[in-house]
Amino acid sequence: MADQSDVENALVAIIANALYPDGTAAPSAIGNLCRVYRGMPSAPALDPDLAAGNVNISVLADEVQKNVTRYPRIWQSVAPVPASLACVVTSTSVSFSGACVVGQLAGVAVNGTIFPYAIQVNDSPATVASNLAALLRQAGWLVDYAGTSLNIPGAEMFAARVVQGAGPLQEIKRQEQEFSITFWCPDPASRDASGALVDQALAIPQFIALADGSAARLIYAASDVQDGNADAVLYKRIIRYRAEYPTTLAQTTPAMLFGSAGFTANTAFVDTFNV
Amino acid sequence: MRLAVALVSPGGSVNAPSGFGVPYRQAWADWSYLQVGDYLAGPEGCVFVAAIEPPRPMLVVMTNAVLDLWRPGGAAFAGANAYGAPLPAGQAKLLSEFPASLLVGGIGDRTRAGLADDTRVPGFIALLPAVACVQPRVADFITNERAERFTVTAAELVGGVWRLSLVQAVS
């Protein structure tokens, strides 16, 4: 089922990919180090970043929303997407190659913990590796990431896969909700550069892919600049986009990158295997 | 080291007890063995030295709490991060188990959780010896031995002592 957190995750991925088109192993497109995330930053973490010239971009769902449920509750098949992104796994590393198509899902499993990533419209193998590396690092893993590959030296069990598309979905409600993309910048120049780049990246796709295989319609809503915290060397910009997205039921779990299977022989249960 | 120490009221009087909730004491001792920030533990409790200004007696602070100082973490990586708001797993402990004075004072605040029993929460003042390699900041937080949580609203270094204004953090 799609949730507002799925929309937030998709927006984070699109923004990160716009700022780091070659992945985070290369400098950002605006020159400043940029951090992109859901949730509000805290002052003790933000202040040193501003002093160092880093840009923080937070994504938050607003209260502004409207119930726009209007479609009948019928099961719909999601159009399959070509399996154009590939990954090669060797021991504790994975390398991505090929073309990224929205609807694909890439992920790694490390010691039984799964890190899935829904491919976005501006993704490349490098940004897929970069965004997965971010998820792994946030979970405390030491990641050796470069180009289109990443390596987790400390992993005892490691797997990586790319799967395509989702199974049938039934839309049970639909909502239109505003999302705030807030830029916490150390100077007006980095605010202008990052704001323009991100606004363009969000305006290009009419629909963004969500992790359950459904899509959200993305519409520009507003933008404003705030200099009220300039005495703290903080220059803010808030860009608001309205997303119309469904809440769905799924017949199969579309994000089933990895899972467990029970094996039986002669009607007797044998064991459960991680696959 | 064992020292003979005489503690009297801040005004130097021995005719009346010290005021309730007043952490300061005059201490008479051989201060050639002491410096600001040192702890003295004895039958009257644990105090730390706040000022040594010979030939006047030392100013010491009675402790009534054991405090940890924490700094909330945030997004740590370039590009996409899982979450930006402070999470328990991202907290960094800056000081561990420092005896300190923690008394009600300063400015309180109100809770904002939207609960039916939302109340005003008290302000607190914490006094503890300063540590050279640590600088408390606004929005850091402190926990005490009863697992209560306080947010730093002001941090002031006076001599070798930190005076921290706090607001108790309550949901």
Residue A197 lies in a domain: yes
Clarify whether residues A213 and A187 are in a common domain: yes
Domain count of chain A? 2
Which residue is closest to B141 within chain A, CA to CA? Answer: A44
> Is A50 part of any domain?
yes
> Is A210 inside a domain boundary?
yes
Which pLDDT tens digit goes with each residue over B140-171? 999 999 999 999 999 999 988 999 999 998 87
Nearest CA in chain A to B71: A44
What is the C-alpha to C-alpha distance for residues A257 and A115, in angstroms, rounded to an integer?
9
CB-closest option in B76, B84, B138 to A43? B138
Whether residues A181 and A63 share a domain: the answer is: yes
- Three-state DSSP at B130 gives coil
C-alpha span between B124 and A87 (Å, rounded)? 56
SS3 A144: strand
Among A254, A226, A250, A248, which Cα is nearest to A238's?
Answer: A226
Residue A270 domain flag: no
Amino acid at B41: A
Tell me, yes or no, whether A30 and A112 share the same domain: no
Q: Which of A24, A42, A138 sits opposite B82 (nearest CB)?
A: A138
Q: Would you say residue A136 lies in a domain?
A: yes
Nearest CA in chain B to A57: B84
What is the distance in angstroms between the Cα of A21 and the nearest Cα belonging to chain B? 10
ipTM greater than 0.85:
no
> N- to C-terminal Cα distance for chain A?
23
Residues A156 and A79 in one domain: yes
- B78 within 8 A of A34, measured Cβ to Cβ: yes
- Summarize the confidence of residues A89-103 as an average pLDDT: 89
A118 falls in which pLDDT band (50, 70, 90)?
Answer: confident
Q: Is the same domain home to A47 and A101?
A: no
* B139 vs A contacts (CB less than 8 Å): 42-44
Tell me: do A80 and A164 sit in the same domain: yes
Phi then psi for residue A266, to 5 deg, are 55, 45
Task: Tell whether A189 and A236 lie within a shared domain.
Answer: yes
Question: Across the interface, do B78 and A34 touch by the CB < 8 Å criterion?
Answer: yes
- CATH code of residue A45: 3.30.2000.10
Determine the distance in angstroms separating the CA of B60 from the nearest CA of chain A, rounded to an integer: 31
Q: Are A170 and A76 within 8 A, CB to CB?
A: yes
Residues of chain B with C-beta less than 8 angstroms from the C-beta of A20 = 78-79
pLDDT in tens, B29-41: 888 889 999 999 9
Same domain, A232 and A109: no
In this structure, are A82 and A116 located in the same domain? yes
- Selected residue of B70, B71, B81, B152 to mutate for chain A interface (largest A Cβ count, 10 A): B81
| Residue A275 falls inside a structural domain | no
Q: Do residues A162 and A177 share a domain?
A: no
Structural domain span for residue A101 = 75-168+252-258
CA A233 to centroid of chain Cα atoms: 29
Element housing A8 (H / E): helix A4-19
Residue B55 preceded by cis peptide, ω within 30: yes
CB contact under 8 A, A138 and B74: no
What Å distances lie between residue A86 and A55, A128, B161, CA to CA? 32, 11, 60
Does residue A43 sit in the same domain as residue A93? no
The widest CA-to-CA distance across chain B, in whole angstroms, is 66
Q: How close B84 comes to chain A (CA, Å)?
A: 5
Q: Is residue A142 part of a domain?
A: yes
List pLDDT tens digits, range B100-138: 999 999 888 887 777 877 788 889 999 999 998 899 999
Question: Is the domain of A164 the same as that of A177?
Answer: no
**Residue A266 to residue A248: CA distance in whole angstroms:** 38
Q: What are B's interface residues with A at a Cβ cutoff of 8 A?
A: 71-86, 89, 137-140
Contact B82, B95 (CB under 8 A): no
pLDDT of amino acid A236: 96
Tell me the pLDDT band of A260, cut-offs 50, 70 and 90.
Answer: low
> What's the whole-model pTM score?
0.81
Q: Determine the average pLDDT of the residues in A6-25.
A: 91
Q: Which of A138, A150, A181 to mutate to test the interface with B (most CBs of B within 10 A)?
A: A138
In a domain, A177, yes or no: yes
Please give the pLDDT value at position A28: 93
Q: Is A119 exposed, middle or buried (0-12, 13-18, 19+ CB in 10 A)?
A: buried
Q: Which two tokens stand for residue B59?
A: 């100013």
